[in-house]
Amino acid sequence: MSLRWLACPLPRDGEFCEGGDGPTVCGLDRRGQMSQWVGQQIGTYRLLRVLGEGGFATVYLGEHCHLGTLAALKLLHLSFSSEEFEAFRREAQLIARLEHPHIVRVLDYDVQAGTPFLVMSFAPGGTLRSVRPKGTVLPLSNVVDYAAQVSEALQYAHDRGIIHRDVKPENLLLDPHEQVLLGDFGIAVLTQRSRSISAQAVVGTAAYMAPEQFRGKPCAASDQYALAVVVYEWLAGERPFTGSFVELASQHLLTPPPALREKNPGLSPTVERVVLTALAKDPARRFGSVREFATALEEAAHTLSPTIPAHAQPPADHGSSMVLAPTILPTGPEPTSLSVGLARPSQQQQVAGPGAREPAQRRRARRTRRVRAICFVLFVASVLLWLITAADPTLHGWFAGAILLTLVFWIAADADHRRATEGLSAKQASPRGRKELS
């Protein structure tokens, strides 16, 4: 693969250039000018038309000037420092080595007029988002088939130490034979290396991000979580969580997903259990691999007993007295004892009596109050450090990110504390109401 690094030409109106050691980087508000690229030549390709546009990039259909072959060219809305440029080059080399029947090939990379772009194989079928618009409920057989193909692509990358980090319908394409191709490997990493991306630009991606990604610790299980969100959306017609970036972060970190069978009653309990297991907040409680998730989903779809690890359990609803878990058919004559054994400790106290739950609620309220205070202190400290390091661009950027992260945690902790205190207040008010009625 050719990786050619070009210096920027003289800046045009609206551009600015950052100098320094290494390549010179030009930045500008490119989104309004992306349509001007149609008909122009980028590298060895002439751009024919726009295929799609998102917060990070615009994708064009390009024709090779000499061979006449078609390819998709992704022009990124980014600008890089010298250090970020070198990291970008390494990432591009890494993802270009991925060769799999269900992965979009990266053919080339270059920079022209200050605009980084990737040349990829062309998928004429479009994205699954365009073929299956939002709100569409897919047949279970189609979902199983799509999930199996995507999981094979992800497993191939995971076996080579590569995490996608941005699995969503917009990055799933169809080839001429309607086979699924997973695209944009590494794009999430590359865009995160640039400080030119605003928080609003990642809201669409945040809807599929795993809790550990919001904490800055993505792992292979993060791709499994994102695929589970996609599967949930295909089966329910909507994503489990919606809202602004802060609201999405809070929900992914703390809120259990709504029961899948409430949105699609035709699904079996085993299918719901598989999806909720892959959506566990803790990566260790999900399936051992994304391939295991797809296999369990296929088994559940065929009414077999899915292979779910003993440690993997769906996320529990901490704001409800019910256990948000799949339906488990009792095998013995004492179903009541079975359900008690499966409940969380706080739920076992509820079975023992109303009075046994209240101390646990008070302890939770005190704990959430402490967590909220800690998050607030970290937020204030991040703001102070951000102000102190104004002269150092690198540290200033890091602490700007820390401000956003601690703000998300603070808001989430405050919401969790409100739920805990409201539950305790309701519990305390209930006995008084019963006395008045008596």
CA-wise closest residue to 169 among 133, 214, 222? 133
C-alpha–C-alpha distance, residues 106 and 72, integer Å? 10
The Cα 377–Cα 330 span in angstroms is 48
Cβ pair 187, 166 in contact under 8 A: yes
Cα–Cα distance, 393 to 395 (Å, whole number): 6
Six-digit token string for 35? 């349509």
- Given the residues 145, 166, 184, 416, the one annotated as active site: 166
Per the annotation, the verdict on 166 as an active-site residue is yes
Q: Cβ contacts of residue 21 below 8 Å, gap of 6+?
A: 82
φ/ψ (deg, to 5) at 158: -60, -40
Contacts of 350 (CB under 8 A, 6+ apart): 321, 343, 356, 357
Beta strands 3-4 and 106-112, pairing class: parallel
Token readout for 317 is 């609803």
Helix (H) or strand (E) holding 129: helix 128-131
**What is the Cα–Cα distance from 41 to 63, expressed in whole angstroms?**
9
Looking at the DSSP bridge assignments, the partners of residue 173 are 127, 181
Helix (H, G, I), strand (E, B) or coil at 119: strand
The structure tokens 């299956």 sit at: 132
Residue 216: C-alpha distances to residues 226, 249, 320, 404, 406 (Å): 15, 12, 29, 12, 12
Mapping DSSP onto H, E and C, the string for 259-323 reads CHHHHCCCCCHHHHHHHHHHCCCCHHHCCCCHHHHHHHHHHHHCCCCCCCCCCCCCCCCCCCCCC
- Cβ-proximal residues to 413 (8 Å cutoff; 6+ apart), any chain: 368, 371, 372, 374, 375
d(CA 176, CA 179): 7
Contact between 137 and 185 (Cβ < 8 Å): no
Phi-psi region of 420 (alpha: psi -120 to 50; beta: other; left: phi over 0): alpha
At residue 418, what is the residue type? R
Active site amino acids: 166
